[in-house]
Amino acid sequence: MGKLTLYGLDGSPSVRSVFLTLRALGVEFEYKIVNLLEKEHLKPEFLKINPLHTVPVLDDDGFILIDSHAINSYLVGKYGKDDSLYPKDLKRRAIVDQRLHYDSSVVTSAGKNILAPLLGENKTEIPQARIDALEGVYKNLNLFLESGDYLAGDNLTIADFHITAALTAFLVFLPLDATKYPKLAAWIQRIKELPYYEEANGSRAAHFVGFIKSKNFTIA
């Protein structure tokens, strides 16, 4: 195996989804922190690696890949002992892909819309409509879980990693009502029991979650 490097920052859900995949696969890698708050992602050294200036970036022995969704499916294809995290079967893979696209479109924009006032606009008030959109996400995830214990059916896949990493921060804005979304609540618990969950996601998200709470935001 060549040298594998992950560029990222713990606060980023996309980066934590890659951590979850790497830990699930048991692959060794080097972690290089790119501090977005200090604008390291805009420095010429990093722009040479990723002109889109986003994290995560994977460097697999000189092969550079950007976007967590592309990275996680590549990692399973290359390093997985089997294909369970990203099935080769066309129909099962299509269901995983649908969840991945849902993550990178709907879930990501719901999160960005909520975080924008706090991170980019120096405001502490979050419009209620943005929280309602997040509730719509919870509702859909609960629906996905009607077909199995995991988001894409009966097996754990990378779709679970992406959505887990995103929800970890969003639960601060809208705590989960388990009576309304029982399948989602049970799934969160199931994922938290993975032996590598805390190291790969829980503890890494903690600083960012604390940072959000420190903003003392209101919803109106």
Ligand X SMILES: N[C@@H](CCC(=O)N[C@@H](CS)C(=O)NCC(=O)O)C(=O)O
Query: What are the residue numbers of the active site?
Result: 12
**Residue 12, interface with ligand X (CB under 6 A)?**
yes
Radius of gyration of the chain (CA): 17
Helix ranges restricted to H, the chain: 13-25, 44-49, 68-79, 90-102, 108-119, 128-144, 158-170, 182-192, 197, 203-213
**Residue 12 or residue 164: which is nearer to ligand X going by CB?**
12
Is the peptide bond between 51 and the residue preceding it cis, with omega within 30 degrees of 0?
A: no
Structural contact between residues 151 and 141, judged by C-beta atoms closer than 8 angstroms: yes
Decide whether 166 or 188 has the Cβ nearer to ligand X: 166
Interface segment toward ligand X; rule CB under 6 A; list 66-74, 137-145, 149-157, 185-193: 66-74
Query: Looking at 21, 56, 100, 159, which residue binds ligand X (CB under 6 A)?
Result: 56
**Tokens at 165, concatenated:** 């990493």
Q: Does 67 bind ligand X (CB under 6 A)?
A: yes
Q: Which stretch binds ligand X (CB under 6 A): 67-75, 126-134, 167-175, 178-186?
A: 67-75
- In whole angstroms, how far apart are CA 101 and each of 25, 69, 166? 22, 9, 13
Contacts (CB under 6 A) with ligand X, residues 104-123: 104
Is residue 50 part of the contact set for ligand X (CB under 6 A)?
Answer: no
Q: Which of positions 139-168 make contact with ligand X (CB under 6 A)?
A: none
The binding site for ligand X (CB under 6 A) comprises 12, 14, 36, 41, 53-56, 67-69, 104
